[in-house]
Structure formats: structure tokens, C-alpha cells
Amino acid sequence: MKTRLHLLNCLAATLLFTGCMGYQLGGTRPEGIESVSMAPVINKTGEPAIELQVTHAVRNRIQFDGRMQLVNKAENADAVIEVTLTRYHLTPISYRSEFGTTPRAYRLRITGVAELKDPATGIIISTSSTYGESVFEFEDDLTTSKRDALPAAAKEIAKFMLDDLIEQW
């Protein structure tokens, strides 16, 4: 009886583990790409200096993700990421009840396009067209409030872009 139970447990464990074959932690990446460099982010919006936050967020996301090594020079990389910011938009989403027309909270949205390119040929390996956003409350002045909300939107667009560029289904 004990040997049958032992054999049954071994069979169940074998079936369970064979179901996990081919699984890997983390995601995949495009074949042959182990290192990537990042071209300067191009800002085609009317909002100055947002490309600095997005550059910082994309670089941090590549390093956090860990599937590819980030290198500084394109000639040392298997691929280059090029990001163009196309739209910066603020939308009031709630208003102060005592004034009725003064916004209390805003949604900040950054829209952009990213391409993963072969540095030798210029061939586009993959593309991403996405956005990142954050919600913030109006504080003392709008400029400070926008500046404080920008890192969260940049972090979100960086995550979505990188996932779109390197995830292989």
C-alpha cells in the first residue's frame, strides 16, 4: 500500500513539474538582443524639459527590468531605443466646491512613441505608442504641482514603452 502511494505521489509530482517546462522568471526579449543603449529623448511637446524625467525613468526601468544590459554607446549595443514625446496634456478632473470653476485635481498625461532599432542597419525591431499619466491635486501654484506629478507619469510611460518594445509573445 505504501509503495503504491509513493508511486502515485511521484507520478503526480512528475506531471506537475512537466507542466512548468519552458517557464522562466521575468519576460522574454527579442532574439539576439542582450544590451541596449538609449538615444536622447526628443520632446515635440510644448512643455519644456519633460524629456529629462522620461530619460531618467526609461533608463531606470531598463536597469530594474534586468533582461538587457544598458550601455552608453550605440556602437556597443545590440539595439538602440529612440523615444519621441508627442503630447503633454493637463485635464482638470475635479473642482473646488466653494468656487465651482477652480480645478482642485488634474490628470497629467504624457504621450510618446518609442522604437527599438538595430544600430548597424537602422531596421526597426519593435515599436510602442503609449502614454503615462498621474493625477495630482492643485497645491500653491500649478507649476510646482505639475513638476511634482511628472515623475509618476514618466515612470508609467517608461514601463509601458519598455514592455511593448521587448516583450515577445
Closest residue by Cα to residue 56 from 40, 35, 44, 77: 40
pLDDT digits (tens, 9 = 90+) for 106-124: 999 999 999 999 999 999 9
Confidence of residue 23 (pLDDT cuts 50, 70, 90): very low
| The predicted structure's pLDDT at residue 22 | 46
Confidence of residue 52 (pLDDT cuts 50, 70, 90): very high
What is the share, in percent, of the chain residues with pLDDT greater than 70? 80
Distance CA 32, CA 75 (A): 15
Those residues whose C-beta lies under 8 Å from the C-beta of residue 10, and which sit 6 or more positions away, are: none
| Bigger pLDDT: 45 vs 100 | 45
Q: How many domains does the chain have?
A: 1
Distance CA 164, CA 11 (A): 40
Looking only at Cα atoms, what is the longest distance across the chain? 80
pLDDT digits (tens, 9 = 90+) for 97-109: 776 677 889 999 9
| The predicted structure's pLDDT at residue 104 | 85
Q: Tell me what the mean pLDDT of segment 69-97 comes to.
A: 92
CATH at residue 53: 3.30.160.150
Residue 88 has pLDDT above 90, yes or no: yes
pLDDT digits (tens, 9 = 90+) for 115-158: 999 999 999 999 999 999 999 988 778 888 899 999 999 999 99
| The predicted structure's pLDDT at residue 51 | 96
pTM for the model: 0.79
| The predicted structure's pLDDT at residue 38 | 96
- Phi, psi torsion values for 139, nearest 5 degrees: -105, -125
Domain of residue 35 covers 2-166
